[in-house]
Amino acid sequence: MAKETILTGIRSNSDLQIGNYFGAMLPMVDMANHHAGEYQINMFVPDLHSFTTPINHRELYKRTINNVRIFVAAGLDINNPNLYLYRQSHISAHSELTWILDCFTGFGEMSRMTQFKDKSAKLKEDRISVGLFNYPVLMAADILLYGAAYVPVGEDQTQHLEFARDIAERMNRQFSDVFPDGLFVVPQPVSKQHAFFAKDQDLRIRDLLSPATKMSKSDETGNGVIFLSDDPEAAAKKIMRAETDSLALIPDSLDYQKQPGISNLLQILALLEHTAVNETLRDWSGKTSYGELKSAVAEKVRAFLEEFQARLSDISDQEVEDKLHASEEAMRAVADKTLHRVQQAVGLRSIDEADS
């Protein structure tokens, strides 16, 4: 492809919350809208990844469509011709390339993956799926099929990106006699990824009732999490019940050690007001009424959800599916071409066979 490709994933099975919205979705949408034209933007839904751990499979398809709608409501311009939006499972080359890459991957490499160790340790299931163990190989296929140079990843997935680079370089060396210019485009290293995306690693919206931990869907009660699907009034009440502290003084800087609850509320308020945290702190530092701060945050949360949910209701499933189908047709041709080259390299297709 003439333009370098930026590839990123849209989660498919989670009930998204404001931590996802401000910490991941908005930066992703801004990146896509800003770079589309200069780069090709591939935003894919990793729906095959979504059940490496147990989920409700009956809800998966509906949630996939709804989560894409949420990204559109957040400002993603799906009419941009340089933006491709597609589902992993609708392009069979993802699965086919994964098997081939599996056969060039060591068991020890996968065993050392920190995320597998962490996730498998937290699962209450007796059986840990091979899919969870094998997750980085499928992720490598997601990247390598499209020659993606840039892939924004969080700290928990830097190992996976480095593996994608390793397996690409390994196969480029092994099959250099067949494809001397390289079988795969090797993604940029993590340091260059972070520099390119100017990643802000500090934004972590915390659980309202346990502010020492980040806001997460794993909170089984949901009382400490503001979901994008929450009733606005119910969400405001969650803010009013948020844990604070006994110091009775709003600080002049965020302090997640001494005052995590108050710091979290100030961070949320700044995000909802679209202001720098320092500006919010100037307005509130020195005040002693936590109730006043909670009320201000609760009102902003209520207004945000009302406005966001109104935008979401205007986006139809059909316009999302139309974009998905068009992108899938275009990306299937790209992925199949890469897969065919790999099949030729490993001996599954004749070297003289033209691209199908």
Question: Is 300 considered catalytic here?
Answer: no
C-alpha atoms less than 13 angstroms from C-alpha of 49 in its C-beta half-sphere: 20
Q: Which of 3, 62, 122, 217 is catalytic?
A: 217
Q: Which of 3, 199, 214, 237 is catalytic?
A: 214
The owner of tokens 């260059």 is 192
Q: Which of 3, 119, 199, 237 is catalytic?
A: 119
In contact, 352 and 107? CB cutoff 8 Å: no
Question: Is 62 considered catalytic here?
Answer: no
Question: Is 238 considered catalytic here?
Answer: no
> Would you please indicate which residues are annotated as catalytic (active-site) residues?
119, 214, 217
